[in-house]
Structure 1
Amino acid sequence: MDDIAQPPPAPYLTLPGEPPIPWTHWLQSFETFILAVGLTDVSTAHKKALLLHCLGAEGQRVLGTLEIGHSDYDTAVELLTAHFAAPQSALLLHFQFRQRQQLPGESVQQYVANLRGLASTCKFGALPDEMILDQFIEHTNNAKLRETLLLEPDDLSLSQAITIALQIESAAACASALTKQQTITDHPAPSPMPP
């Protein structure tokens, strides 16, 4: 396994402007890279050099403006986190969660994963699955699924709802494929006319 080369994450910020991905997501990728290549026990100077290399030109410039003198890896991460990951209002995060609807073509699994990501920043306490379930039922783009879930008992869990949704999604895909196949069988392409 040691002979597998792991590429570093894409540079965080190469040009001035808005970073392409949130800082916390990029930092998690960077730290996963450090772990994957076995560099967790290297010196903080070595880690900081890797961080600088992966930040990109504009990211390096930003860190340079935030540092007073030289800092170690942990301090550099703290400075960058304070700069790029400013805390957001809980009300704003809740609003964004409540506005999230299932997009056309978005699968059940993709939609639930996106709701989980949004809920993770909302500090719902012990209720994230209930909140995700409510949002999922209310904003699914499949009316049949919504009706089916609303007929379930009150103790319906999120995992049960996902199982039902996946079954309905799979059945709809099979029915669509059968309909297309039946249409082709019922209406074969016309034969070319002889000359």
Structure 2
Amino acid sequence: MDTVLRPPPPFCFENTLSSVTSGNLSRQWLKWKKSFEIYSKACELSKKTEDVQVSILLHVIGEHCREVYEQFTDKITTIKGLLEHFDKYFLPTKNLTIERHKFFPRGQQEGESVEQYTFELNKLAMTCEFKDLRDDLIRDRLICGLREDSMRERLLRESETLTLQKAVDMCRIAEMSRMQAGCIKQEDTIVDCPNVQPVVHAPRKLPLALRDAVKNKLDEMLEQQVIAKVEGPTDWVNSMTVVKKANGDLHVTVETDHKPLVSIIKKPIASAPARLQRMLLRLQPYTFELVYKPGKYLYVADALSRAVAPADSSAPPEKPLDHLEMEAQDSETS
């Protein structure tokens, strides 16, 4: 087995002041030592004699560390004793105050996930000797160090029954939900075909008996944000047909010669694109019908779209037909 498994590379280090004070030397040594322990267990080095184990370690550790070994004054006959001597050389005396000072100010960095943040806190806590309070202190540091205030407030409301694992799970679910919501939180837009010319339909006259009811219905739909009031000119203006239902309510039918709009409205929510799902969900509580009619059969709108504007722009504007109709009715009643 030992001839097949590749041993860890020789341990190379820089024994400088900055390397020692920053903790890089001790971290590098602990990583290499862990790699050698895995190699030793996989190759079953424990079945060999102590002299052979010591020789294998000195061979694998490299020339730089063998020079350190020659400076040891004690006679070392076991691999455990040799590793302990290297620990004393590479691992400085641990200062708990400094180690815990690295842990407590650690906050979540920009772009760092909660999973990675918790992993870094666990690494820092390994040298702090928190013992039985380890999970509780990591949980508290996780809550205090989160960048998102709303998530911190939610965790604080669960403080009595909140464990470290539960806090991490809640944060992970919140992150996933926020990412998924960002995928569908887009403005709902309808892309027109470039070869279709916009059409402006003329307003239709309404019977006097239905005008108040239609106005109330439109105000209700406007308040519920089913429709939106447009003050200025637009490229498309569709006709609206009002039908009185059997229960006395009004059923609004919108006629359009923009055929793709009809298929978009009839799409099932589950199969609709994410950018249209919000619009379809908001339309669910309301009753209306959108029907397609070719532009040539929308006679009034088609005629007006083809009409030529009068040459004399100084002439006073004509009154709308519905206004003339109301004046005629008022004159008849008087």
Q: TM-score, normalised by structure 1?
A: 0.79
2:116 maps to 110
Q: Residue type matched to 1:119 in 2?
A: A
1:128 maps to 134
Equivalences for 1:32-47 in 2 at 5 Å? 32-47=38-53
Distance of aligned partners of 1:173 and 1:81 in 2 relative to their CA distance in 1, 3 Å threshold = same
Distance of aligned partners of 1:73 and 1:157 in 2 relative to their CA distance in 1, 3 Å threshold = same
Distance of aligned partners of 1:67 and 1:26 in 2 relative to their CA distance in 1, 3 Å threshold = farther
**Distance in 2 (alpha carbons) for counterparts of 1:155 and 1:70:** 52
State which structure, 1 or 2, has the greater radius of gyration over its C-alpha atoms.
2
- Contact 2:54-2:79 within 8 A present in 1 as well: yes
Q: Residue type matched to 2:59 in 1?
A: H
Give 1:54 deviation, angstroms. Answer: 2.7
Question: Structure 1: any 5+ residue segments left out of the alignment?
Answer: none
When you count strand as a share of all residues, which structure comes out higher?
2
1:60 maps to 66
Counterpart pick for 1:147 among 153, 160, 163: 153
Give 1:174 deviation, angstroms. Answer: 2.1
Q: Does 1:6 align with 2:12?
A: no
**Distance in 2 (alpha carbons) for counterparts of 1:97 and 1:140:** 14
2:37 maps to 31
Aligned length in residues? 185
**Distance in 2 (alpha carbons) for counterparts of 1:55 and 1:77:** 11
Question: Structure 2: any 5+ residue segments left out of the alignment?
Answer: 20-24, 195-334
Q: TM-score, normalised by structure 2?
A: 0.49
Distance of aligned partners of 1:153 and 1:38 in 2 relative to their CA distance in 1, 3 Å threshold = same
Runs of 4+, deviation exceeding 3 Å: 2-6, 14-22, 67-72, 176-179, 185-188
Distance of aligned partners of 1:70 and 1:4 in 2 relative to their CA distance in 1, 3 Å threshold = closer
2:90 maps to 84
When you count helix as a share of all residues, which structure comes out higher?
1
Greater relative contact order structure (CA < 8 Å, 6+ sep): 1
RMSD between superposed Cα atoms in Å: 3.0
Aligned-residue sequence identity (percent) comes to: 26
Give 1:60 deviation, angstroms. Answer: 2.1
